[in-house]
């Protein structure tokens, strides 16, 4: 049943690689993404006990095949002079072994594809990549990482674009307020230039100063969450539930599947007064809540070099604001 979709997506990806027309590339990427999420949903529902189709045994079998293919790929790459840094269900990251010759990755990937019967694509090369440690542990999180693509120019301002690949961190999460996304992307830009946690913290300090002065536009502070139930079905009094109840209070109830947007004005308050909705005149915001969100975003970046929240707060408590130029050196 899924074979034709897999084959169609493979053909579309070949077309994406060949086209030089930007609108056509956008159309093809949209089609590829749509098929991808159909396949992801089908895989997930194989292991869902209430699914109308699928069986848990099928889900387990898919995972077993994936593990075998991943291990076979790992062995082949190591034999070819590469060291595996990280691997997950659909990707594997490698770096050259310093005292060995390496066979070309494209060649090794083609051989693995022929052996296992599933195409292994050599997607990209990176100047560096960082895997974020788990929040409550030292090991790397499987789905939280970021890295600078080789031969991709990084914009000096604005969005980092395709130059930096991000997965799982705040800037990739749809619920993250635009201001927090900007803070993290600015931090990524400086981290790429300096590899310095102190320089990243200086970026945080500047943004936090603007926040504390009340100079961040409320349009950049909206949290967006997709809701799965009606307001009365929730048992925890989260900010999202407060926003749903506030919408209900204003006779603009949202249905499951819709997205609720809100600004946090008083996280320590009670009920619907903790948030404001887009159609309301919002003159203030909860500085502490947004500050904590920005610190988490900064921690995601510097955690890969051993810095934790305590290191960040201790550095920010210092009144010295070192400039970026001191990290980059003189021309």
Residue 248 Cα distances to 66, 233, 267, angstroms: 46, 13, 19
- Over residues 181-196, the mean pLDDT reads 95
Residue 24 has a pLDDT of 94
Domain co-membership, 298 together with 204: yes
Q: Torsion angle of alpha carbons 43, 45, 48, 51, nearest 10°?
A: -150
Pick from 303, 275, 6: nearest CA to 168: 303
pLDDT at 138 over 70: no
Domain co-membership, 317 together with 170: yes
Residue 151 has a pLDDT of 80
Residue 158 has a pLDDT of 60
Domain co-membership, 197 together with 213: yes
**Average pLDDT of the chain to the nearest whole number:** 88
Distance CA 250, CA 245 (A): 9
Count of structural domains, the chain: 4
pLDDT at 117 over 90: no
Identify how many contiguous H helices and E strands the chain contains and give both numbers.
10, 8
> Are 149 and 262 in contact, with CB atoms under 8 Å apart?
no
- Over residues 63-88, the mean pLDDT reads 92
pLDDT at 121 over 50: yes
Domain co-membership, 246 together with 303: no
Of 248, 268, 284, the position where a domain reaches its end is: 284
Residue 141 has a pLDDT of 61
pLDDT at 220 over 80: yes
Domain co-membership, 59 together with 48: no
Domain co-membership, 37 together with 171: no
Residue 326 has a pLDDT of 47
Domain co-membership, 292 together with 199: yes
Residue 54 has a pLDDT of 66
More confident residue, 159 or 23: 23
Residue 206 Cα distances to 65, 122, 202, 203, angstroms: 49, 39, 6, 5
What is the extent of the structural domain holding 24?
Answer: 1-54
More confident residue, 152 or 96: 96
Residue 318 has a pLDDT of 77
pLDDT at 49 over 80: no
Count of alpha carbons within 13 Å of 241, Cβ hemisphere only? 11
Domain co-membership, 183 together with 140: yes
Please report, for the domain that includes residue 45, its CATH number. Answer: 1.10.287
| Confidence band, pLDDT 50/70/90 cuts, at residue 283 | confident
Domain co-membership, 50 together with 177: no
Residue 136 has a pLDDT of 65
**Tokens 């990739």 map to which residue?**
172
Domain co-membership, 42 together with 89: no
Please report, for the domain that includes residue 241, its CATH number. Answer: 3.40.1820
> Are 274 and 164 in contact, with CB atoms under 8 Å apart?
no
Domain co-membership, 34 together with 137: no
Domain co-membership, 95 together with 197: no
């Amino acid at each position: 049943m899924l074979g034709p979709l897999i084959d169609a997506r493979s053909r579309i990806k070949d077309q994406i690689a060949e086209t030089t027309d930007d609108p056509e590339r956008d159309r093809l990427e949209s089609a590829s993404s749509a098929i991808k999420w159909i396949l992801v949903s089908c895989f997930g529902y194989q292991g869902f006990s209430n699914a109308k189709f699928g069986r848990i045994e099928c889900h387990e079998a898919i995972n077993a095949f994936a593990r075998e293919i991943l291990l076979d790929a790992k062995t082949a790459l190591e034999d070819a002079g590469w060291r595996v840094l990280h691997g997950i269900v659909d990707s594997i990251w490698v770096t050259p072994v310093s005292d060995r010759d390496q066979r070309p990755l494209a060649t090794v990937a083609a051989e693995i594809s022929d052996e296992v019967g599933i195409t292994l694509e050599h997607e990209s090369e990176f100047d560096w990549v960082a895997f974020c440690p788990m929040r409550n542990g030292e090991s790397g999180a499987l789905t939280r990482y970021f890295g600078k693509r080789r031969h991709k120019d990084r914009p000096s301002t604005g969005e980092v674009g395709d130059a930096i690949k991000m997965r799982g961190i705040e800037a990739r999460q749809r619920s993250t307020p635009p201001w927090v996304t900007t803070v993290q992307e600015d931090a990524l830009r400086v981290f790429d230039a300096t590899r310095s946690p102190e320089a990243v913290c200086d970026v945080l300090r500047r943004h936090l100063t603007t926040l504390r002065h009340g100079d961040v536009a409320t349009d950049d502070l909206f949290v967006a969450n997709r809701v799965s139930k009606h307001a009365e079905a929730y048992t925890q009094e989260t900010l999202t539930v407060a926003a749903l109840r506030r919408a209900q209070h204003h006779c603009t109830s949202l249905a499951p599947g819709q997205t609720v947007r809100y600004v946090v004005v008083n996280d320590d308050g009670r009920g619907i007064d903790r948030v404001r909705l887009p159609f309301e005149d919002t003159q203030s915001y909860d500085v502490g809540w947004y500050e904590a969100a920005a610190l988490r975003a900064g921690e995601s970046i510097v955690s890969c070099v051993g810095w934790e929240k305590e290191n960040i707060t201790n550095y920010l408590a210092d009144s010295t604001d070192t400039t970026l130029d001191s990290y980059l050196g003189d021309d």
